[in-house]
Structure 1
Amino acid sequence: MTAEKFDLSGDWDFDPAHTRIGFSAKHAMVSTVRGAFNDVAGHLHVDFDEPENSAARVVLQVASVDTRSTQRDDHLRSGDFFDAETWPEIAFHSTRIEEVSENALVVFGDLTIRDVTKQVTVPIEFTGAHRDAFGALRAGFEGTRRLDRREYGLEWNMPLDAGGLLVSEKITLEFEISAVKREGEAAGDVTAEGGDEVEDDEAEEVA
């Protein structure tokens, strides 16, 4: 990973207002439906001196799923899919992070959906770091990962009259992450919600 002029080692919290963790799936075999989880919390620990100590943790609130269709979102929250009432969170905890080339990482970890936990590998691109208008050091990461939803108990489907299925069994996870580094006094106790505070200040400045 290119550190440029910034010290990227340390602890980082996702800025939920500028982070998208979503998914895409084929509908009726012809169109793509995209959605995201609006309630996201995540933390990164980056250690350049001992990369094996780097780690990532992400938690999504299932009830916040948003595909721009109330009926579809309610169905996704139901027992046919995520069963948000029984399993309200989707969680990912890294077990290893490797740098495979400049600005390219591979994150290994455990993904838990419903009551199923499986190890997945997620390729992630580091897209850069800079200080924003308020002095916060931000870093960007992007990546995608395809998986079979049936492996996590998301098996609901309907056959089409012409053949095929209403919802694709393979889905693509999509990661667009903006993370803010904990610095100074904030380094000891800033939580993942710190990004919201940055966003509130920004909104007041714009106003």
Structure 2
Amino acid sequence: MSGLDEILNLIETQQQQGEELILKAAKSKAAAIKAEGDKKAQSAYEDFMYKAKEKTEKDFENACNSTDADMKRRILACKVSLIDQAVEKIIEKLDSLPDNDYFQLIIKLAERHSQPEKGVIHLCSKDLARVPDNFENELNEHIKQNGGSISLSDEAADIEDGFILSYGLISENCSFRAVIESEKDEIRDTIARVLFR
């Protein structure tokens, strides 16, 4: 082999070695870049999954709290509705009492609201038409311990049931609905205890 061939072979060998070194370096660099990219992608994936899980758990907790609050509101609304229905039934029952029981109830209410002075009781028109003959006397017999007296007015009060008790310029509405409304918290608590032990 001539000197020129040897030089060409040497150049070719060096060129092949150089190419192999460049390819090896390139492959190594590519592997390092890929490894770095995989590492960053894995880190980004884990970060995303952590945040997504955290957000999902928070959304789930908020949804549960919202549903729980809504359910409690609905239960409360249902209880209030049932209590209001019970109040209406109580008023209906009081209105439909037999005359004797009805006017005994009026007397008890009047006794409870009487003052130690002269008053006037005003009944509604349907009650004035059915008032017992001895009503005024029996009423005054019950309230005499309070030191006052009550006379029955011939004028009907503009109420559905119960009475209006007047002492001079002061009048107290003692219709069943007004009495229940004035003591609604205590009455509703009692009904709630009975309905929802």
**Which has the higher Rg, Structure 1 or Structure 2?**
2
**Could you say whether these structures have the same fold, taking a TM-score greater than 0.5 normalized by the shorter chain as the test?**
no
Q: TM-score, normalised by structure 1?
A: 0.21
Which structure is higher in RCO with an 8 Å CA cutoff and minimum separation 6?
Answer: 1
